[in-house]
């Protein structure tokens, strides 16, 4: 058994930023970072190719945008990354896509406003850079899928399905809400909401309120198709095409993101909207195939009038579909007063916390600043 002062579930932007902020505030305890994926990144993750070492594709959030005036408050988290060259202002153009497939001026949208930043050399470098700024006594458990969560004798016990790797933590932070949300029952086939089963109703009134708020959060699912194409005929290819409402209705896409590769090829990510049925372990393989077929068809149709015509569809190599189970909270939030539940020793951070930048990377970073102060006060 591994014993630590703090366990953080999720190595996405908020989880890694929390560790960096705690170190800045003088935290010196031991930490276990638990992540089901192969490395840090979360929804700012990057897909790499085993065949081509130079290939990388940001298949989640392609940019971080910071509202006017928020940069000063977020400076403790952003400035170290800017100094180290892991964050840079986005200089490539952003365009809109209308219902005829034509490029137009980009629409007004919260994700396109303010200070736009990109990860260098890729978006995963943002979380990795924050993680490197974290506490010295840090254990990273990548590839660990939690299937057991229990609170016993003032400790959180966390483990995989075989309980071959057990972590005992005095305090716990969830940087995503899946293990505290009812959708865990269908998506992960848990018999009960994991966090609810660990702490009975009435043991922590604040946690009871927090779980009720989390249960009411609604979020969209994204199905992101990844493509590899030959070099585009245009020298100044846009970073992103944001679909106008008529384009979203016609093709079922939110945006298309383009990422030139060192080899001269072009990586493309199509951000597709929700499927029409619940996601379960049984339905996911079929839904992934359906989404890939649907988006490949949409790609062929909307690129037919672009320079190169049907060549874009014929030469596109599919790299598969990435499902983001709750990529964007759209309704409901966790109040900041419920971010830290002292009686049960559990906290929350992420873009689903109420406050500035809700639903965006900015909101995730704001939530980190607030939670870090509470954690330091609970020592």
Cβ pair 323, 43 in contact under 8 A:
no
Across-strand partners of 225? 270, 321
Is 3.40.30.10 the CATH classification of the domain at 2-45+125-217+332-377? Answer: no
Question: Could you tell me the residue ranges of all domains in the chain?
Answer: 2-45+125-217+332-377, 89-121+219-327
**Long-range contacts (CB closer than 8 Å, 24 or more residues apart) made by 48-56:** 49/319, 52/263, 54/261, 54/262, 54/263, 55/228, 55/261, 55/263, 55/265, 55/267, 56/121, 56/122, 56/124, 56/259, 56/261, 56/267
| Rounded Cα gap, residues 294 and 225, in angstroms | 10
Residue 42 neighbours by CB under 8 Å, 6+ apart: 10, 11, 12, 13, 14, 15, 60, 127, 175, 176
Is 89-121+219-327 CATH 2.40.50? no
pTM for this model (two decimals): 0.95
> Which letter, b or e, does each residue of 192-209 get, where b requires 16 or more Cβ atoms within 10 Å of its Cβ?
ebbbbebbeeeebebbbe
Q: State how far the Cα of 368 lies from the Cα of 277, in Å rounded to an integer.
A: 33
pLDDT tens digit at each of 379 positions of the chain: 889 999 999 999 999 999 999 999 999 999 999 999 999 999 899 988 777 777 899 999 999 999 988 989 999 999 999 999 999 999 999 999 999 999 999 999 989 999 999 999 999 999 999 999 999 999 999 999 999 999 999 999 999 988 888 999 999 999 999 999 998 888 888 889 999 999 999 999 999 999 999 999 999 889 999 999 887 666 678 899 999 999 999 999 999 999 988 888 899 999 998 877 778 888 889 999 999 999 999 999 998 888 776 778 888 999 999 988 767 899 999 999 999 999 999 999 999 999 999 999 999 999 999 999 999 998 7
């Amino acid at each position: 058994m591994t014993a630590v002062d703090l366990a953080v579930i999720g190595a996405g932007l908020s989880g890694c930023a929390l560790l960096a902020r705690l170190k800045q505030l003088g935290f010196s305890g031991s930490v276990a970072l638990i992540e089901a994926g192969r490395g840090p990144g979360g929804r700012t993750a990057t897909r790499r190719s085993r065949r081509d070492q130079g290939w990388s594709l940001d298949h989640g959030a392609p940019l971080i945008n910071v509202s006017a005036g928020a940069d000063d408050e977020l400076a403790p988290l952003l400035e170290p990354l800017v100094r180290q060259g892991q964050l840079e202002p986005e200089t490539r153009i952003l365009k809109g896509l209308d219902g005829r497939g034509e490029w137009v001026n980009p629409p007004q949208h919260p994700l396109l406003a303010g200070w736009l930043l990109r990860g260098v050399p890729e978006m995963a470098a943002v979380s990795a850079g924050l993680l490197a700024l974290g506490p010295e006594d840090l254990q990273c458990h990548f590839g660990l899928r939690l299937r057991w969560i229990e609170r016993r004798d003032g400790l959180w016990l966390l483990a995989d399905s075989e309980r071959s790797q057990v972590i005992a933590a005095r305090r716990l932070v969830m940087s995503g809400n899946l293990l505290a949300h009812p959708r865990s029952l269908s998506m992960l086939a848990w018999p009960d909401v994991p966090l609810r089963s660990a702490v009975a109703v009435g043991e922590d009134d604040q946690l009871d309120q927090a779980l009720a708020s989390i249960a009411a959060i609604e979020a969209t699912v994204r199905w992101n198709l990844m493509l590899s194409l030959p070099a585009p005929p245009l020298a100044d290819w846009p970073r992103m095409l944001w679909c106008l409402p008529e384009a979203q209705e016609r093709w079922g896409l939110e945006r298309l993101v383009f990422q030139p590769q060192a080899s001269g090829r072009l990586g493309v990510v199509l951000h597709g909207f929700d499927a029409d049925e619940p996601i379960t372990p049984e339905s996911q393989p079929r839904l992934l195939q359906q989404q890939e077929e649907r988006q490949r068809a949409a790609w062929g149709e909307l690129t037919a009038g672009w320079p190169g015509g049907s060549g874009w569809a014929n030469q596109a190599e599919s790299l598969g579909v990435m499902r983001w189970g709750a990529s964007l909270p759209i309704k409901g939030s966790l109040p900041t007063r419920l971010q830290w539940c002292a009686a049960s020793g559990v906290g929350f951070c992420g873009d689903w916390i109420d406050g500035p930048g809700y639903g965006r990377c900015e909101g995730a970073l704001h939530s980190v600043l607030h939670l870090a102060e509470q954690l330091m006060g609970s020592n």
